[in-house]
Amino acid sequence: MLTKIIRVFQFVKSTTWLFSLVKLVIFTLVMVLLFSTLNKYDFRKALSSIEINLYYLLFSILLVFLNWGLEAKKWQILLRQNTSISFIEAFRSVLVGLALGIITPLMSGDYAGRILTLPILHKKAAVGANLAGSFVQSLVAILFGTSAFAAYSFYFSAKNLSLNILILFALVAACCGGVLLLIYAKKLIQKVPELLKPWLDGISTLSGSLISKVFVLAILRNLVFTLQFLALCFSFQITGDPVLLIIGTGLLFLIKTIGGGLNIFGDLSIRALFSIYFFTQFGISGDLITLVVFLLWLINIAVPAIFGSFFILFFKTKPDVALPDL
């Protein structure tokens, strides 16, 4: 899928009218997908019965800039082996990748989208760098989620104890496997087929200190997610044991990491479904928690994707901006 996306942009980049048409189609697809999703949800009933704390809501919205700022900084660091870009360029690149990602299966458009706007000398290696960044972020989410699931199993030990132990064992094994993959990535890449090696060079060239910085940024980003979710809960008068809310947040992002990303609708639906399952056990209204999950998606995904689609719409090829080759 990634190769096909790249080939399309290679074909159209030299044809002005066709390139403009492709940008317009992408922009339209993003808008249609986002607004059709918005129309699926009606929270007027839930909103009519609660008083909104605007301070917490504003705080959650402001954290969007920190969230994507951390991701942009992470992307900037990952590209250091290939090219030097400004933070603003990295930020724009991340949003373009998000916009393309939500309209492609498995977020494959994110890889092509990030590379399109950047003056990268080694384009294939940059794909590997992006893969490394996504892997580290997913690993951190699973690590946090595993801790949350362990705490959840402790709080509700009488429920499905054998199943919970089995799931916890699988999660711990996944975490250990992920850490080992990071440690031995360079050796493993040497054993992959030659056809794939150029795409993975971006991983093999990353130093241990650089990966450590990316890991720290991924942890900070996960903490921002948690703060955003808690702030939205407080803004809609969702109260309760803060520990349980943090556990629920960790479980939410664990489920999103493992089962989300196939498409924009499935990702949001998975979050809402499992949020209702977990948070209602904590005595929280299913309608309210669905509202919080939706708003988190709206401010963290939908609005940034709209900005990213505008960047695509007004993107112009320049001599120093090379599109990915094969």
Residue 240 has pLDDT above 80, yes or no: no
Q: How far apart are CA 94 and CA 133, in angstroms?
A: 12
Is pTM beyond 0.85 here? no
- Judge whether residue 279 has pLDDT over 70: yes
Q: Could you tell me which residue, 4 or 264, shows the higher pLDDT?
A: 4
Q: Does residue 86 sit in helix, strand or coil?
A: coil
Kindly report each contact of residues 205-208 with a partner whose C-beta sits within 8 Å and lies 24 or more positions away, as own/partner: 205/81, 205/125, 206/78, 206/81, 206/129, 206/132
Single out the residue of 105, 76, 71 nearest to residue 2, CA to CA: 105
pLDDT of residue 59: 96
Question: Residue 30's pLDDT is what?
Answer: 64
pLDDT tens figures, 179-226 = 888 888 777 777 777 666 666 766 767 777 888 899 999 999 999 999
User: pLDDT tier at 322 (50, 70, 90 boundaries)?
Assistant: very low
Which of 78-87, 171-180, 184-193 is predicted most confidently? 171-180
Higher-confidence position of 66 and 127: 66
Mean pLDDT of 53-63: 93
Please give the helix or strand (H or E) that residue 113 lies within, else none: helix 109-116
- Residue with the bigger pLDDT between 39 and 86: it is 86
> Looking at the predicted structure, is the pLDDT value of residue 311 above 80?
yes
Span 106-119, pLDDT tens digits: 677 787 778 777 66
Distance CA 19, CA 185 (A): 37
Please tell me the predicted confidence (pLDDT) of residue 319. Answer: 46
Query: Percentage of the chain surpassing pLDDT 70?
Result: 69
- pLDDT for 114: 82
With a cut of 80, say whether residue 274 has pLDDT above it. Answer: no
- Which pLDDT value is given to residue 219? 96
The continuous run of DSSP H or E covering 114 comes out as: helix 109-116
- 300-308 mean pLDDT: 88
The rounded distance, in Å, linking the Cα atoms of 158 and 181 is 35
Q: Is the pLDDT of residue 261 over 80?
A: no
Q: For 38-51, what is each residue's pLDDT tens digit?
A: 566 556 666 666 77
DSSP string, 250-264: HHHHHHHHHH--S-H
Between 63 and 268, the more confident residue is 63
* Mean pLDDT rounded to a whole number for the chain: 77
Taking CA atoms, 240 is separated from 144, 206, 225, 268, in Å, by 21, 43, 19, 24
pLDDT of residue 216: 95
Please report the pLDDT score of residue 153 as a whole number: 85
pLDDT attached to residue 61: 94
